[in-house]
Amino acid sequence: MTASDNRIDEGSLPYYEAVGDECAVFESAYNLKLPLLLKGPTGCGKTRFVNHMAAKLGLPLYTVACHDDLAASDLTGRYLLKGGETVWVDGPLTRAVREGGICYLDEVVEARKDVTVVL
């Protein structure tokens, strides 16, 4: 499936003003199944850009606010007790992979090394 298969009307997209070819780069990275690292100062529009691109490509977006208490299982998932049974519950990273969505790790530099190693 290519990014163009799920596109939505441009008028209903979250607002984002492109300043270069970042939209084409993002779309190419998605189509080639490549990870993408967005780097910039706080407030420069990284989150808005990811929200815009997820909507533009018609993809589910899973945003994780990274911090030093975040565990790898918070991303991948874990076994939980539900109704007397032990069941696996996917984390946002696993859901994004299964569904072909985007997992945006906001402030990933704040995560511990044992968390980033699962990436």
> Phi, psi at residue 78, to the nearest 5°?
-160, 165
Q: Are residues 33 and 54 in the same domain?
A: yes
pLDDT of residue 8: 61
pLDDT tens-digit profile of 47-81?
999 999 999 999 999 999 999 999 999 999 999 99
Question: In the predicted model, what is the mean pLDDT of residues 1-9?
Answer: 55
Q: Are residues 27 and 2 in the same domain?
A: yes
pLDDT surpasses 90 at 10: no
pLDDT of residue 7: 59
pTM (predicted TM-score): 0.83
pLDDT above 70 as % of the chain: 91
Are 77 and 89 a contacting pair, CB within 8 Å? yes
Q: Are residues 51 and 68 in the same domain?
A: no
